[in-house]
Amino acid sequence: MASGLSRRAAAGYQRYQDQDRTLTLMAVDRFRALLLAGLALSSAQPALAASHGGSAAGKAKAPASSPDETSIVAVVNGDVISKGDVDARRRLFAMSTGLPMSKEVLDRLTPQVLRQLVDEKLRLQEIQRRGIVITDSDIAHSIQGMEQRNGMQPDALRHKLAADGVSMRTLIDQIRVQLGWTRVLRQQLGERVRISDKEIQDEEELLASQKGQTEYRVSEIFIPVDDPSRAQAAHDFADTVIQQLRSGAPFPVVAAQFSQSQTALEGGDLGWVQPNQLDPQVVSVLKEMPPGAISNPIDVAGGIEIVALRGKRIIGNDQGTALSIRQVFYPFTTPLNPAAPTDQQRKTLEHAKAAAAAMHDCAAVEAASKAMGGSRPSDPGELRLESINPPQFRALLASLPVGQPSQPIVSQDGIAIMMVCSRTQKNFGLPGKEDISNQILGERVETASRQLQRELRRRALIDMRGHD
C-alpha cells in the first residue's frame, strides 16, 4: 500500500514538459496567480480582517517594523536570515490571506515563517550549487504576465505590496526559489519523469478493482515538524491557519503561501484520491467530514495536515456534464465604478457588443481573443458544469445555446464574451491516461522534493539565534 507521504501530490505538475524553462514558468505560475487572488481579496474584503480585530485602516497602517531589521535570527550554512526577512514574509502572508497586521497576529506567524525561510535558504543554496540561474528577466516576465492575465496595470502589484508595507523583493525572492527548486527536481528525477504505458495500465487496473468504493476530492496544507520540540509551535500555527480558513480566506491562497508540499503549486489541490493514497489518520477524518468542511490539525508522519474536503463520489460512477467553451476578454484600463464608467469603459462595452454580434462559432471567439492579445486563455480546457461557481455563472453556461455568444459579462476589470462549443454527458468517475500519468509523476516529484529537503537539512549547519 502506498503511503500518504509518497502519494500526496496526486494533482501535481500537469503538462510536465522536458524544456526546463517552459516547465518552471508553468509550474510556478499557479503559485503566483493564487497569491494575486489573495492580494485582490485582501483589498476587496476589508470586513474579513475587521472580524479578527483589524480594520481596513488598520491594514493600510501596519505597525512599524523592528528598529533593528538587520539583526540576525538564523544562520544557514553561513547565509544570514534577518529580522527584516522574517517581518517582510509575515506581512506578505498576512496581507494575502486577509489577516490583520497586529503585533499579536504577526508574532503567531513567526515560528513557521522562520522555518520556511530556513528551508528556502537551503533550497536556494542547492539551486546555486547546481549552477541553475533564474534571471531577473524571467521573474519580471512572469510578474508582467501575472498582471496582464488578471487585468492589472503595470506595476499595480508592486504598488499594492508597498501600500501594505511589503517590499517587492520579498515576493521576488519567493518566486525565484519556487522556479529554481522546480528545475532542481527536474534534474533530480532525470528520465524518471517519463511514465511508461505499463505503469499507466497498472494504475488503471488498480482503479478498476476499486469500483464501488468511495474516493475523495481533497485539498491540503502540510506543515512539517522535524524537531519534536517545535511541535507545539507548529500546532499553534495550524490553529491560526484554520481559524482564518474558516473565516473565509481562500484555501488555495493559504496553501500556496505556507504548505510545504509540492501541491502548494496547485493551491494544495490533490484532486480525486482513494483511501490508500492518503495517510490513515487523514482517511479517518475524511470519512466523518461533510463536503466543504475544513479539518482540525491532523498529526501525520513528518508533520501536520490540514485538509479541506471538496467532494465525495463512488469510484467509476460519477455522471456529469462536460463543457468545452471559448472566451474573449476586453480589459478596462482602470477599475470600473458602475456609477461613473469612463469613456474607455463605455467604448469597450460597445466594442464587445459589436464583436459578439459577428461571432458565429468558437473559431471566431478564438480569433477575437488572439486579436486582443490573448491576455486570458481562450480555451480554459474541459469544464465540468456541476463544479462551476458561482451558481449564476453555472446557470448561464447551462442555458446558453451551443455556438451562440453570451451577452457581455461585465466585471470590475473588463468584459468577457463566452461561447459554449459542446455540452456532453460524461462519466467522470475514472481518470484518463493523461490524468493517471500526471498523478504518478506528481507522486515522484513530491517524494523527490521531501527526500532532498530532508537531506539538505541533515547536512546543514543551522544556527537559530532567536526571534523574540
Co-location of 421 and 333 in the same domain:
yes
- Residue 23 forms part of a structural domain: no
Does the pLDDT of residue 129 top 80, yes or no?
Answer: yes
Does the pLDDT of residue 282 top 70, yes or no?
Answer: yes
> Which has the higher per-residue pLDDT, 171 or 125?
125
Co-location of 77 and 176 in the same domain:
yes
Q: What's the pLDDT at 419?
A: 97
Co-location of 269 and 355 in the same domain:
no
Co-location of 228 and 263 in the same domain:
yes
Does the pLDDT of residue 80 top 90, yes or no?
Answer: yes
29-38, 74-83, 128-137, 266-275: lowest mean pLDDT where? 29-38
- pLDDT tens-digit map of 247-256: 888 888 788 7
> Domain range holding 392?
319-427
Co-location of 97 and 180 in the same domain:
yes
Buried b (16+ CB within 10 A) or exposed e, 263-286: bbbbbbbbbbbbbebbbeebbebb
Co-location of 301 and 329 in the same domain:
no
Burial of residue 31 (number of CB atoms within 10 Å: 0-12, 13-18, 19+): buried
- Residue 90 forms part of a structural domain: yes
Residue 307, helix vs strand vs coil = strand
Confidence of residue 41 (pLDDT cuts 50, 70, 90): very low
Overall average pLDDT of the 360-389 stretch: 88
Co-location of 258 and 324 in the same domain:
no
- Please give the mean pLDDT across all residues of the chain: 80
Q: Tell me which DSSP letter residue 294 carries.
A: B
Does the pLDDT of residue 192 top 70, yes or no?
Answer: yes
- Residue 148 forms part of a structural domain: yes
118-127, 171-180, 354-363: lowest mean pLDDT where? 171-180
Domain count, the chain: 3
- Residue 76 forms part of a structural domain: yes
- Residue 445 forms part of a structural domain: no
Query: Percent of the chain having pLDDT more than 90?
Result: 36
- Residue 25 forms part of a structural domain: no
Cis amide bond preceding 331, omega within 30 = no
Co-location of 168 and 248 in the same domain:
no
For the whole model, what pTM was predicted?
Answer: 0.62
Residue 429, helix vs strand vs coil = coil
Domain boundary among 190, 223, 241: 190
Cell numbers at 208, concatenated: 478498476
In sequence order, what are the beta bridge partners of 462? 76
- Residue 59 forms part of a structural domain: no
Cβ proximity of 305 and 282 under 8 Å:
yes
- Residue 205 forms part of a structural domain: no
- pLDDT tens-digit map of 95-110: 777 777 788 878 888 8
CATH number at 234 reads 3.10.50.40
Domain boundary among 285, 317, 349: 317
89-103, 166-180, 412-426: lowest mean pLDDT where? 89-103
Does the pLDDT of residue 42 top 90, yes or no?
Answer: no
